[in-house]
Structure 1
Amino acid sequence: MALNVHQLHIFYTVAERGSFSSAAQNLHMTQPAVTMQVQALEERFGTKLLNRTTKKLELTEAGRRLLPQARKAVELMRETDEMMVRFAEDLKGRLQFAASLTIGEYVLPRLLGSFLRRFPDISVDMKVMNTTEIVDAVAHQGLDFGLIEAPSDVPGILAEPVMDDELVLVAPAAHPFASREEVTLEEMLAEPMVLREKGSGTRQIVEDELLRVGLTDAPESKMRIISEFGSNGAVKSAVEAGLGLSVLSVWTIKHEISLGLLKPVRVKDVDFKRQFYSVRLRSALLPIPAAALLGDLRELSHEK
């Protein structure tokens, strides 16, 4: 049978107060109920904890051994209660953060509704910026935390992986690539490209992977980049219109794929997989509502 912490609390109060009647008043219990709980504790340990005389109440040797442990248990319960009260208080107010475009426009809307239903006392203030701007805001402008699409090596910034993502080559429905599951890197480089702007996490992942597979010169010099846009929506519209191909997160094109407007195509021997990261100052604590939101993001990643 598990040790009853409530009984330890009663024993501790009796020992500290020096009488059953005083302990009963303090605990808002009847004296017989207090006596019964102490007796139950004695039966569990198979030894007397208190000697009851007509004049005073004395601890036995077993009682003296138990008292410090009972005190620790009572203090732990009190600390736990205070911690949970603070936790409940912290899960109120405004949660301010920034998210990169892919996360802010396509990932977070999938879970913010359920998150706010779970925590109705929280209001969310989310700014949508690119990865470079978010890291700068955390490092220099007092932003609590952000969600970005590429790792950061800025001094003083802690970047922690939150969820997985994959980028794919995207072609319009009428393009010859749309009927294929895979193309070569050389075929991709021969096509006109419409990309996100410099500084975006999506653009950085594309360039980093092209360097990894052997494009030793600047990757943008090897691609036929005809346009750059500051939003995923603008890039998708340009691809749909036949302006060129692009590389985008699978999160951003679910709707267009379902409508048959865009087709994802894999590039042979090229891996555009990445992780999304949370960023904050190494010297700062993550707000409790932020920790709860990041937990939901990790769960969503597992469901994807």
Structure 2
Amino acid sequence: MTFLELAEEVLKTAKEPLTYKQIWENANPEVQEEMKTKTKRSNPAHAVEDAIYPYLRKENPKFIRVYTKPITIWLKEREKELPPLEEQLKQKIQETQEKEIEEKYKFKERELHPLLINFLNNDEDFNIRAKTIYHEKCIKSKKGKGIWNYPDIVGVSFPFDNEEIEEETLNLLQNINQIKYKLYSFELKIIINFSNLKECYFQAVSNSSWANEGYLVVFDIDENIIDELKRLNASFGIGVIQLDIEELKPKVILPSSQRELDIETLNMLVKDSPDFRDFIEDINRHIKAKAGKLGNIADSFDKVFNREELEKYVKDKHIVKED
């Protein structure tokens, strides 16, 4: 058996595209022992790569490259099986990368939520009531469809939330459609750099298609990618917010563009996400109650910490930037 034949044999029964290392690790142990004697490479996985690489470059390749970071390989003859697998693989790779980042920074991505919630609620330009969407509760298609449809945090701004306004005036504004309720979508990341920029940005694009405004929120950012973020912002309109751990007040690096609600996607989220359904139900109950009674309604929006609580939270969670 050659290393090329070994790769073909493994990939014929593989359930997902594999890296060169995984192809070697999934080979029959007896075959592995035999093949070790046929290469001078100290790492046999490199011999697998040497065998496959020429067949990726041919006009009618035997193998196809599915993903580049890391490189994953699939058989050309099984290409029709690939679309659902590709989405699942992207999710798996992203989850692995996020886990590595969390291990490096010593805190979890979701532990950043209170910092953003506090800012959104208290900043006069936003004045947003926000809610975390727990992805693990969402319905996911068996084929992987819609894996990236669910935002990390959703928010709503209620006009006249903190203003004294007569009910007659409010009724008039509602009757003539002059009250604008805005819905927001936020995708959070611990760090963004050149290696994950486009993947993170387009995840935010996908997750915010339903909302009036969409944002990518980042704790740590490589300053060298700002120009690229500006270019993407001009094309796709996703805003960028950076969490400032020293001031405990995030800053808007790039604003989001305004757009109409995508009702079809919004309805899909209501059907597939229990948290999003609760979010929409809360909005409807608040609107029915009128502005003057908003403070008297129980809801499921995330808790907003005061300054002292937030400082203690940041310290307890060891949320600090890497040197």
TM-score normalised according to structure 1 size: 0.24
Larger RCO: 1 or 2 (CA < 8 Å, sep 6+): 1
Report which of the two structures shows the higher radius of gyration computed on alpha carbons: 1
